Amino acid sequence: MVRKAKTMDGNNAAAHVSYAFTEVAGIYPITPSSPMADYVDQWSAKGLKNIFGNTVKVAEMQSEAGAAGTVHGSLAAGALTTTYTASQGLLLMIPNMYKIAGELLPGVFHVSARTVASHALNIFGDHSDVYACRQTGFAMLAETNPQEVMDLGAVAHLAAIKGRVPFINFFDGFRT
């Protein structure tokens, strides 16, 4: 097999790797994670197949809490489910995360992290949002570049399936 190198950012890498392992994506686009959800939505609309030979079903919700609820319900029904979010959205998902982890459901949350601030103009990297999720029962993987996002994204999906533990796969939203 011939290797094919591509140039991409962390959002694109996370979307690529997650699409392969996802049956349902519960999305609510939020900066800087919007490109992940957009890529997955576009690929699904074009009929791109995942590794199971199916097109990913995308459910775009009206809030981050709705996306987390969709992920929880879809996982409980047996579908491999993913969501894509940023710091502010992740904090709204915490109540559902406790349930997902407590029920040993193998979901993956790809998080494009940024500062949670009182002003919307702050775009610096920060992981305080992710660390607020430490007690939820989710395993966590952190990346510093797009290659790590691609590699550890696959690890997150496979480990979630094998270990029945949900994962947060996170990276700096505006740098990676």
Q: The domain spanning residue 127 has which CATH number?
A: 3.40.50.970
- Domain-located, residue 98: yes
Q: Residue 100: what residue type?
A: I
Give the pLDDT confidence of 74-108 residue by residue, as tens digits: 999 999 999 999 888 899 999 999 999 999 999 99
Q: Is 148 helix (H, G, I), strand (E, B) or coil?
A: helix
Q: Identify which of 143, 144, 149, 27 has the alpha carbon closest to the alpha carbon of residue 89.
A: 27
Overall domain count for the chain: 1
Is the pLDDT at 123 greater than 70, yes or no? no
Alpha carbon 36 to its chain's center: 8
Residue ranges making up the domain that contains 166: 10-172
Q: C-alpha distances in angstroms, 134 versus 4, 28, 97, 120, 130? A: 37, 22, 10, 25, 7
What pLDDT sits at residue 37? 94
- Is the residue at 26 inside a domain? yes
- The answer to whether position 31 is within a domain reads yes
Q: Which residues pair with 141 in a beta bridge?
A: 169
Residue 83 inside a domain? The answer is yes
Q: What is the mean pLDDT of residues 49-73?
A: 96
Torsion sign over Cα 57, 62, 67, 69: negative
What are the structure tokens assigned to 78, written together? 């047996």
